[in-house]
Amino acid sequence: MEIVNQIIQIMLSSIFLLFGLSVIAWFWLDTLRCREVAKSVCKRACSELKLQLLDDTIALGKLRLKRNQHGRLNVQRTYQFEFSDGGDSRLQGVVIMCGTVLEILEIPGYMHRTISPV
């Protein structure tokens, strides 16, 4: 009977370990996909406004859980990026994504709070 209990404990711990690894893998892939969508939004907005996205990169600034318009819990990510208007200045913009959906895009001096996809 003791051997059966040990086998059950090993199986349960293996299941929990696999579940934990699956959640981590999902989160990592979801973060990569969201980052690519946010980066393409920034590139497109900068291109339309005749701005240059500096370093061709965005940086994750904030991460939290938020409910979407359907009541589902999603990960909200706030990214920061730098852009230039052609001079020597480096200005900072913000893009907020809920899941892979654009919530807010801020490009100070050029575009203020866009709450729909660009």
Query: Which of 76, 72, 67 is CA-nearest to residue 100?
Result: 76
| Helix H or strand E segment including 29 | helix 2-48
How do residues 55-98 score in pLDDT, each as one tens digit? 888 999 999 999 888 888 999 999 999 998 877 888 899 999 99
CA neighbor of 111 nearest in space, from 88, 87, 81: 81
Average pLDDT of the segment spanning 32-44: 93
Render 72-103 in DSSP notation, one character per residue: -EEEEEEEEEEEESSSS--EEEEEEEETTEEE
3-state DSSP call for residue 109?
Answer: coil
Mean pLDDT of the chain: 88
pLDDT, average across residues 35-54 = 91
